[in-house]
Chain A
Amino acid sequence: GAVVSQHPSWVICKSGTSVKIECRSLDFQATTMFWYRQFPKQSLMLMATSNEGSKATYEQGVEKDKFLINHASLTLSTLTVTSAHPEDSSFYICSAAWWGNTEQETQYFGPGTRLLVL
């Protein structure tokens, strides 16, 4: 159980275009989803936290207008990188968690999406 998927796994786009990344919890309802960014050989940095049906909470320094997050259902959150630039190239990872049982304190991670902006 506790499987999280991401789509696409790889995306290459031209500078100035927008890219949407989907994160789905496959076998549980995620009350909270998280988006992380990881640059090569670096650690994961939390970008934002989203609760179903409410606006995402962004970490300091993360542009909310550039990284649009939608958490419309308990099994789906999307991250849209708007007007992507080469410096946005990174590995984006989502995670999901749910309340209500002893596993609530654990975030389960998706496989990640590698974004390359040319």
Chain B
Amino acid sequence: AQKVTQAQTEISVVEKEDVTLDCVYETRDTTYYLFWYKQPPSGELVFLIRRNSFDEQNEISGRYSWNFQKSTSSFNFTITASQVVDSAVYFCALSLYNNNDMRFGAGTRLTVKP
């Protein structure tokens, strides 16, 4: 069975600090997808990134970057120069190729203070 672990329950930083959210996953399948979603206080899940298991290339999108390492089964998310608007709960998730079994981590609540 798949499992996603987000060990950091809550993180608090001051604006402009860099912050890394950890995600470790478990699966026996060789083909899978990893995701990060942002859930602001409004509750709506905002899709941030999808990465398939064959693509270990790291990705940067503005202040966001993701580090995917299959050797350690990790898919960490870094926010550079954090802003107050980044305050939200961030979920890491894993799904198998057929997309019928998506598992979420427990989430990390990020608070960015001005």
Contacts and interface: CB of A to CB of B under 8 A. Distances in A.
Contact of B45 (A46, A57, A109): A109
A91 B104 contact: no
A67 B43 CA distance: 21
B43 A32 contact: no
Interface stretch (B16-24, B64-72, B74-82, B95-103): B95-103
Interface size class of A (residues with CB under 8 A): 20 to 34
A109 B106 contact: no
B102 A42 contact: no
24 contacts: A32-B99, A32-B100, A34-B102, A41-B109, A42-B106, A44-B45, A44-B91, A44-B104, A45-B104, A46-B101, A46-B102, A49-B100, A57-B100, A95-B45, A105-B33, A106-B47, A107-B95, A107-B99, A108-B47, A109-B45, A109-B47, A111-B42, A112-B44, A112-B45
Interface string A85-118: 0000001010101000000111111111010000
A54 interface: no
B22 to A, nearest CB: 15
A51 to B, nearest CB: 9
B37 interface: yes
Nearest to A45: B104
Contacts of A114: 43
Contact of A93 (B45, B105, B106): B45
Contacts, number: 52
Interface of B: 33, 35, 37, 42-45, 47, 50, 52, 91, 95, 97, 99-107, 109
Contacts of B91: 43-44
A105 B50 CA distance: 8
Contacts of B45: 44, 93, 95, 109, 112
Nearest to A36: B104
A51 B15 CA distance: 44
A108 B102 CA distance: 12
Nearest to B50: A106
A34 B95 CA distance: 13
